[in-house]
Structure 1
Amino acid sequence: MTTTTSTPPLFSVVPAGIFGPLASANREHYWLLLCRLYEEFFGPDAPVPPSHGFPRREITAALERYLLADDPWEDEDGQGPDTPLGIRANAIHERFRTAGWLRQERIGAREMVSMPPPVAQLLSTLVEFSEHGPTFVSAKMRSIELQLQQVAEGQADGGTLDEAADQARRLLVSLASMSLQVRDLMPELSRAETTAQFARQWFERYVGQLFIGDYAQLHRADHPLARRSSILAMARQLEAGPRREALAAWYREHAAGGDEARAQARLARSLRRLHELERIDEYLARLDEDIRQANRRALAFLDYRLRAPDRLDVLLRRACRGVLSAPEDALRMPVAPGGLMDESRLRPPRVRPAPIPRSANATAPPTPEQLARLSLLRRIKRARLVTAEDMARYVGRHLEGADRVDSAQLAIASIEDLRAYQVLATLALRSHRIGGLRREDPLGRLLRGFRVELVDHGPDTGNDYLHGPRFRLMRTGARPLESA
């Protein structure tokens, strides 16, 4: 299997056997020992370690202390719980050293132990992942916006841009995985033995651990999620503005080793990750639907538990034991004598009565004039109706070969064009209000492959039919609008 340039190599950074202890029968114990060693010796909360490491005896003594409170282990490699404590501690140390978690060097007559920096960073990431709680979208969006403001104003360099792009990617990954966690939790909660246990797990795990920390405020106008348009505007400004050359120079000097192509690719990757925030509404809509389904299932389960007879399983087991121990005569079915499937016991076919002939209230067929008026009314309603396909054809005709077009350049040659222009002006006004266009707005379904932006400065525009605000159409996808 060959690796591509887009896939970062993992085992060229960390040792190849790094996950061996965490895949063994005692993986829980090995993980606990690694966390304790990291917390006491190599982590950020521990004292600053010596540059040459710790003596081996100090590490094995700490392992012996841990083993006193973590016994017994499963028998592995001949090291059972009855093996002396010192031998087991040295065997665990040797396992960590062989796997690459610890590095042992001889300095003079002493053997010193340290943890390689890439391994320490990997362990810190694993600890952070295991301690991950609810996502706070507000703090992440505010942090991304402030960092982009510093970059746009020239107060920060490409490192800050990289950090903002990584935060945007982690936010989207967190929202994408949240739906899967909600769906996976329901079968586990359904196995609760009692109603009280189900309710406790529901509120402790579902609400307290899996929900977005500020989910209740996501749809408010003053939430930082409404600042998404500002973040995207700054990303477009960095992409095409005067700051792009300075950022490319920083990447060329610090991240690409003087290679111009690699610097431009690194800058384009960071900007592309920021542009992915346009899809955050899709993730939130899917999360809302998953949460609604989870709520319905939980309410149905609680309703069943509360309405079902108490100790139903005990009653069923008692009935089964009674059937198995009852005599044969007592198990006869309570039915009358005779054949159960005889044709005389079948219900006779149902005869439908003949319909009563109507003698009054006869309807007269419409006249040709009425039919013509009805057809004309349908054509009038259809001409005034703007569908997504109609909007895609109208916008695609003007955005063909261009990425943006001003409202003054939009042509109106028919009633359909006039209605499309009116809808675009309405979308521009609604998207300009605080919080942007509402996700439940029915006009939002017409935005396929493009978006509408109200132009604050400049006079209003007009044509032979309408006089309204000035707005701008911008393409958001690479595919043709007619097929969007």
Structure 2
Amino acid sequence: MTPAAPPALFRVVPPGIFGPLASPNRQHYWLLLCRLFDEFFGPDAPLPPSTGLPRRDITAAIERYLLTDDPWEKEDGEAPDAGPGQRAAAIYERFRAAGWLRQERVGVREMVSMSPVVSQLMSLLLEFSERGPTFVSARIRSIELQLQQVVEGRAGADALDEAADQSRRLLSALAAMSLQVRDLMPELSRAESTAQFARQLFEDYVSRFFIGDYADLHAAGHPLARRGAILAMARQLETEHRARLLAWYREHLVAGDDARAAARLQRAIDRLRELERIDEYLARLDEDIRQANRRALAFLDYRLRAPDRLDVLLRRAVAGALAAAPEALRLPVGPGTLADETRLRPPRQRARPIPRSANQVQAPTPEQLARLSLLRRMKRARLVTPEDMAAYVGRHLGQGDRIESTGMAIDSIGDFRAYQLLVTAALRSQRPGGLRRDDPLGRVLRGFRVELLPGEPGDSDYLRAPRFVLHRLRKTA
């Protein structure tokens, strides 16, 4: 499937909307926008009339803000001695020209409002700037509940799209978390004192950037252990409920276009399947957090052991030595040669090693060499490396996405051992929490996952074991 074209952002929002936020006074423009949004246009503000608010109310509010806090820099085209009223009118015109405010004439009055698209963009920017620690449990629980409603027929494809978008946002947040942890440590290292470093470490590093439920991610009762059920519901929606979901898309979103409806459904299913890769993101985040902890502990240990203000003491010592009289710089030692060969410690005489007789080397017999070679070949035949497993699975999967254990052949000892490992992985996946990330089998199972099938064990030519199915993991962008 060809990738979708990027959405046209400036067909939705005004083209110059980011102009004030890219100027030298961007901090002050942003503060004014937040105040106007909270007081007049936001969800916490009183409901404005349908025709908008009078223009003089908006300019008076901007002027009031300038009178209480006016640290602005002069910009090009601004009058050098402009008063607060003139500057408030100029700021209002800047917001109106950029698209943040919309002005309409109602009778003889000029009324001001904020368009729904701009209001939604402002809400998203505020939500992004006020983001806190991510709670994986809440997002996984929300995704599962929405998919359950879709499977039970109590919700349509709109709930499916919302669950797919939440899955994408969860993975994006986990991916960005590693970069935030790595970027935070150089900033903390610039702290002027040990107390400041410790305070920033626990306030910024732990409280603001950590996952809110990071300590419970590996618990058996954490909702993250239910991701297998989420993936199963996604497969069920793709097969059993496909016709109902396609009908919803055709009726509500794509105006009867079957191709666009199928593409929209496939996009939602693919985003849900990305949850298969959440272990990769969590493993990388664990490693970044361990490295950050080691760096923080090493820095704290250095700051606690090193003398306080060591650089100040060195500068004072150098300045005092340069300004002191020559006789004051004399070393406090007695007369005579300071360094002489007679004062040196004599070299240490190492005792001569005791002569030893070499052990007699006896060459192995041909039978012993043959037994040793046979033993090595037996051990190698029973050893399954990731490459051996990939070759065995790839020989059976081919171009397909799944295969059951009944369709897998055992033609050698290596095939037998690979089949045994797949059975073991299928059994371990049924434990609470699934296959743990530190399980040695995780290094062998690359590019696919194993799911245990219910029912009686199946019989093969060499083994009686539970039945299972292999699923290929799709790589997503």
For the 8 Å contact 2:276–2:473, the answer to whether it is kept is no
1:388 matched to 2:386? The reply is yes
1:104 matched to 2:103? The reply is yes
Q: Distance in 1 between matches of 2:305 and 2:349?
A: 41
Q: Distance in 2 between matches of 1:329 and 1:261?
A: 95
Per mean C-alpha deviation after superposition, the further-off stretch among 428-437 and 58-67 is 58-67
Question: What are the equivalent positions in structure 2 for 1:398-437 lying under 5 Å apart?
Answer: 398-437=396-435
Q: The residue matched to 1:111 in structure 2 has which SS?
A: strand
- Normalised by the length of structure 1, the TM-score is 0.91
1:150 matched to 2:149? The reply is yes
Deviation at 1:220, TM superposition (A): 0.6
1:295 matched to 2:284? The reply is no
**Runs of 4+ off more than 6 Å:** 328-338, 349-357
Q: The residue matched to 1:432 in structure 2 has which SS?
A: coil
Deviation at 1:84, TM superposition (A): 2.1
Which residue number in structure 2 is paired with residue 317 of structure 1? 315
Deviation at 1:329, TM superposition (A): 7.8
1:191 partner amino acid: R
Deviation at 1:213, TM superposition (A): 0.4
Which residue number in structure 2 is paired with residue 470 of structure 1? 467
For the 8 Å contact 1:150–1:156, the answer to whether it is kept is yes
For the 8 Å contact 1:71–1:81, the answer to whether it is kept is no
Deviation at 1:48, TM superposition (A): 1.4
1:92-151 deviation digits (Å, cap 9, x = unpaired): 111111111001111111000011111111111100000000000000000001101111
Q: Distance in 2 between matches of 1:352 and 1:256?
A: 90
1:472 partner amino acid: V
For the 8 Å contact 2:451–2:470, the answer to whether it is kept is yes
Q: The residue matched to 1:14 in structure 2 has which SS?
A: coil
Which residue number in structure 2 is paired with residue 446 of structure 1? 444
1:6 partner amino acid: A
Which residue number in structure 2 is paired with residue 345 of structure 1? none
- Normalised by the length of structure 2, the TM-score is 0.92
Q: Distance in 1 between matches of 2:96 and 2:196?
A: 43
Q: Distance in 1 between matches of 2:91 and 2:358?
A: 98
Question: What are the equivalent positions in structure 2 for 1:453-464 lying under 5 Å apart?
Answer: 453-456=451-454, 458-464=455-461
1:306 matched to 2:304? The reply is yes
Q: Distance in 1 between matches of 2:79 and 2:134?
A: 42
Q: Distance in 2 between matches of 1:294 and 1:64?
A: 47
Deviation at 1:330, TM superposition (A): 7.0
Q: The residue matched to 2:162 in structure 1 has which SS?
A: helix
Q: Distance in 2 between matches of 1:413 and 1:453?
A: 23
Q: Is there any run of 5+ residues in structure 1 with no aligned partner, and where?
A: 341-348, 480-484
Q: Distance in 1 between matches of 2:232 and 2:309?
A: 61
For the 8 Å contact 2:24–2:73, the answer to whether it is kept is yes
Which residue number in structure 1 is paired with residue 199 of structure 2? 200
1:398-420 deviation digits (Å, cap 9, x = unpaired): 22243322222222222112111
Per mean C-alpha deviation after superposition, the further-off stretch among 294-303 and 17-26 is 17-26
Structure 1's 332 and 100: CA in aligned 2 closer, same or farther, altered over 3 A?
farther
Q: The residue matched to 1:412 in structure 2 has which SS?
A: coil
Alignment equivalent of 2:376, drawn from 369, 373, 378: 378
Q: Distance in 1 between matches of 2:70 and 2:118?
A: 27
Deviation at 1:91, TM superposition (A): 1.2
1:176 partner amino acid: A
Which residue number in structure 2 is paired with residue 126 of structure 1? 125
Q: Distance in 1 between matches of 2:330 and 2:366?
A: 74
1:150-205 deviation digits (Å, cap 9, x = unpaired): 11111111111111111011111100111101111101100101100000000000
1:239-287 deviation digits (Å, cap 9, x = unpaired): 1x23111111211222212222111111111111111111111111111
Q: The residue matched to 1:89 in structure 2 has which SS?
A: helix
Per mean C-alpha deviation after superposition, the further-off stretch among 297-306 and 358-367 is 358-367
Alignment equivalent of 2:252, drawn from 251, 254, 259: 254
Q: Distance in 2 between matches of 1:95 and 1:409?
A: 69
1:46 matched to 2:37? The reply is no
Q: The residue matched to 2:92 in structure 1 has which SS?
A: helix
Question: What are the equivalent positions in structure 2 for 1:320-331 lying under 5 Å apart?
Answer: 320-326=318-324
Deviation at 1:351, TM superposition (A): 12
Q: The residue matched to 1:359 in structure 2 has which SS?
A: coil
1:312 partner amino acid: L
Per mean C-alpha deviation after superposition, the further-off stretch among 417-426 and 138-147 is 417-426
Which residue number in structure 2 is paired with residue 63 of structure 1? 62
Number of residues of Structure 1 aligned to a counterpart in Structure 2? 473
Structure 1's 95 and 446: CA in aligned 2 closer, same or farther, altered over 3 A?
same
Q: Distance in 1 between matches of 2:95 and 2:226?
A: 47
Q: Distance in 1 between matches of 2:289 and 2:80?
A: 47
Which residue number in structure 1 is paired with residue 365 of structure 2? 367
Q: Distance in 2 between matches of 1:395 and 1:172?
A: 28
Deviation at 1:45, TM superposition (A): 1.0
Question: What are the equivalent positions in structure 2 for 1:211-290 lying under 5 Å apart?
Answer: 211-239=210-238, 241-290=239-288
Q: The residue matched to 2:410 in structure 1 has which SS?
A: coil
How large is the Cα RMSD of the aligned pairs? Answer: 2.9
Q: Distance in 2 between matches of 1:80 and 1:73?
A: 13
Per mean C-alpha deviation after superposition, the further-off stretch among 212-221 and 11-20 is 11-20
Which residue number in structure 1 is paired with residue 171 of structure 2? 172
For the 8 Å contact 1:74–1:81, the answer to whether it is kept is no
1:13 partner amino acid: V
Which residue number in structure 1 is paired with residue 344 of structure 2? none
Q: Distance in 1 between matches of 2:235 and 2:15?
A: 41
Per mean C-alpha deviation after superposition, the further-off stretch among 356-365 and 196-205 is 356-365
Q: Distance in 1 between matches of 2:301 and 2:382?
A: 48
Which residue number in structure 2 is paired with residue 346 of structure 1? none
Deviation at 1:82, TM superposition (A): 5.6
2:114 partner amino acid: M
Deviation at 1:360, TM superposition (A): 4.6
Deviation at 1:53, TM superposition (A): 0.4
Q: Is there any run of 5+ residues in structure 2 with no aligned partner, and where?
A: 340-346
Q: The residue matched to 1:46 in structure 2 has which SS?
A: coil
Q: The residue matched to 1:11 in structure 2 has which SS?
A: helix
Q: Distance in 2 between matches of 1:224 and 1:5?
A: 32
Q: Distance in 2 between matches of 1:387 and 1:247?
A: 43
Structure 1's 78 and 449: CA in aligned 2 closer, same or farther, altered over 3 A?
closer
